[in-house]
A and B are shown apart, each in its own frame.
Chain A
Amino acid sequence: MVILGTIIVSALVIMTAIAPWIAPHDPAKTRVGPIREPPSPQFPMGTTHLGQDMLSRILYGGSIMLQVSALSVLVCFLIGVPLGLFSSYVGGVFDRACSLVIDAVYAFPGLVIAIAISAMLGRGVVNMALSIAVVYIPSYFRVVRSQVLSIKELTYVEAARGIGAKWYTILFRYVFPNVIPSIVVVTTINFADAVLTAAGLTFIGLGVEIHIPDWGRDLTSGWAYLSSGAWWIITFPGVMIILLALGFTLIGEGLSELLNPKLQR
């Protein structure tokens, strides 16, 4: 599962990276062919309602999603992990307050928060990433916290404390390494969720500007011309989003199965 997921994800990343060299047309350029032309030898994936080449847009279109998801995962990681480590290690009122706020965010419909924040911040890659990050910080915090709480009580940590190790030494040298596997799982699943949330935000009109090639964007504009029956404008970007999210999900599920042998009977 992990291998399959990695192959899918890296294939998509490479495809997006080399798009400028392999794309037959400029993805943003309109009227390179007839409007809404079904797939043909000249346009293997057809053309959009503006006469853009669908294949070129597919090749380029992963870029925004990858940027948004990578950025949001980075933000989540940088805030969620240290906060979780610190809060659970210190304990007390600080920990309880953090947990209360985090749990409240966690229980809230994620997309609603992302929509609210995104509506306030406006369009753009960074703003999208930030609004998605807020939704998923709790996942990191919760996983890290529950792990630290159990590791903290283990004998070897007590021993380290006994020989007078500093709190940050214990936290980063003794506790943190044990949390890493769980964080890796959360991160990959988070990637999948971020991709889907980004697509969702784009769908309701909070995504990037219309001319930028983006799978979510194209899927949305294909939907607007649904009644014309132009399936190719919908299907190709849709399948690409599924592949990207599926790749990350496979990695995450595979890893969590490897790391959690409880169910391997």
Chain B
Amino acid sequence: MGLRSYIITRILLTIPTLLLLLSMVFLIMRVLPGDPVALHFEKKATPEQMESMRRALGLDTPLWTQYIEYLGGLVDIGYILEHGYPNLGKSMQTFEEVGGQIFSAFPATLELAFYSMIIASVIGILLGVISSKSYNSILDHLIRGVGTVTYAVPIFFLGIVFQLIFGVYLRWLPTGLRINPAVDPPATITGLYTIDSLLQGNLFKFFESLKALLLPSLTLGIILSGIFIRMTRTNMLETLRLDFVTAAKARGLKESTVTYGYALRNAFLPILTMMGLQFAILLGGAILTETTFSWPGLGRYIVDRINFRDYTAIQGAVVVFGLFVTLVSLVVDILYAYLDPRIRL
């Protein structure tokens, strides 16, 4: 099978997954016991008020009509072309378009996720490789211990400890927001502050946004690195025992060539797949990290909306999280196919 037909098949296979995912979200938000409108008002509204709210949000129609409308909104090309984002309904709190609110919060999450992933991969792969190479030594046990403990640390606890040390005691780094409030954020191109400021050649704004990014992405990156260490170590241990690694050593190749060009290069494919799977965990962690650091992203948005009991907004955010994960796993699979010569043609 050629790479092209593999990619097309893989994209087509995403459609049923997406449909299932969207239905699941609908099921959770509409079918589970608990009436969103009643919950929103916390029993402090008259039946008339609740009724008018239901009508305004289209919640008075039968379930299946709502379901069709909900799915239809997501694929309404006309709406997407007009607004630049899909129709996710209106907020119960502000009656603004949920799609628009999410669209403006999303880049913050993307930026955080991007840098955290880099930090987690660098720490995880580096320590994992070192650990596997010094198998069963004190260093190996130490690194494994760090990995295990990292796994057990609540992410927001690490964030709070960082805030306490670097923000409150040392006062070196900001404890919240994407950029110093005294500095105007860079004009939006991609929505990622670090990239936008670089594109505009503004180094000052670049460093300001990097400073704000440091603690949140370190927090998320370190927590995630625990899993990466373990994955890398296990895969490296398996690969290091393979014949071609011994054969490479027997040819007198450099240690670094054997470790990276032979072992890691081959262990990397399964590691890549697992990293793709961990992306879901990363997003879960992002919600808590964003809350800890008042980071105005999608996670912070969902938590804010929970406090306002804004169910349409929660539903929209959950849908976008799902779309994001699906997209990433699609990209990872295609990357895998591209990197593996046994699939590539």
Contacts and interface: CB of A to CB of B under 8 A. Distances in A.
Given A107-B280, A116-B25, A242 B314 contact: no
Contacts of A243: 152
B289 to A, nearest CB: 11
A122 B34 contact: yes
B197 interface: no
A200 B156 contact: yes
B284 A109 contact: yes
B177 interface: no
Contacts of B309: 119
Contact of A109 (B28, B152, B154, B283): B283
A100 B157 CA distance: 35
B322 A108 contact: yes
Given A117-B28, A204-B303, A205-B307, A112 B291 contact: no
A104 B163 CA distance: 36
B168 A110 contact: no
A229 B151 CA distance: 26
Contact of A242 (B154, B303, B307, B315): B154
A253 B148 contact: yes
B287 A204 contact: yes
A78 interface: no
Contact of B161 (A107, A121, A234, A249): A234
Interface string A121-165: 110000000000000000000000000000000000000000000
Interface stretch (A35-43, A82-90, A219-227): A219-227
A113 B28 CA distance: 9
Contacts of A204: 287-288, 291, 303, 306
Interface residues of chain B: helix, strand, loop or mixed (majority): helix
Interface residues of B, number: 59
Contacts of A242: 149, 152-154, 157
A185 interface: no
B156 A108 contact: no
Given A104-B17, A119-B306, A119-B314, A234 B160 contact: yes
Quick one: which of B32, B34, B157, B288 has the most chain A CB within 10 A? Answer: B157
A111 interface: yes
A226 B148 contact: no
Given A116-B29, A204-B288, A263 B234 contact: yes
A234 B169 CA distance: 14
A192 B152 CA distance: 7
B50 interface: no
Contacts of B238: 263
B24 A110 contact: no
A111 B284 contact: yes
A92 to B, nearest CB: 18
B195 interface: no
B318 A112 contact: yes
Given A105-B24, A111-B287, A226-B164, A206 B306 contact: yes
B281 interface: yes
Interface in A70-89: none
A95 to B, nearest CB: 16
A265 interface: yes
A238 B154 contact: yes
Contacts of A117: 28, 32
B62 interface: no
Nearest to A193: B151
B259 interface: no
Interface of B: 16-17, 20-21, 24-25, 28-29, 32-34, 36, 39, 135, 148-149, 151-157, 160-161, 163-164, 167-169, 175, 234, 237-238, 241, 277, 280-281, 283-285, 287-288, 291-292, 302-303, 306-307, 309, 311, 314-315, 318, 321-322, 325-326, 329
Interface of A: 100-101, 103-105, 107-113, 115-117, 119-122, 192, 196, 199-200, 203-206, 216, 219, 222-223, 226-227, 229, 231, 234-235, 238, 241-243, 245-246, 249-250, 253, 263, 265
Given A235-B161, A245-B153, 13 more contacts: A108-B24, A110-B281, A111-B284, A111-B285, A115-B302, A119-B306, A122-B39, A203-B291, A223-B292, A229-B168, A229-B169, A231-B164, A250-B148
26 contacts: A104-B17, A107-B17, A108-B24, A108-B325, A109-B280, A111-B288, A115-B287, A116-B29, A116-B314, A120-B36, A120-B39, A192-B152, A199-B157, A203-B156, A205-B307, A206-B306, A216-B154, A226-B167, A226-B175, A229-B169, A235-B161, A238-B161, A241-B154, A242-B157, A245-B152, A246-B148
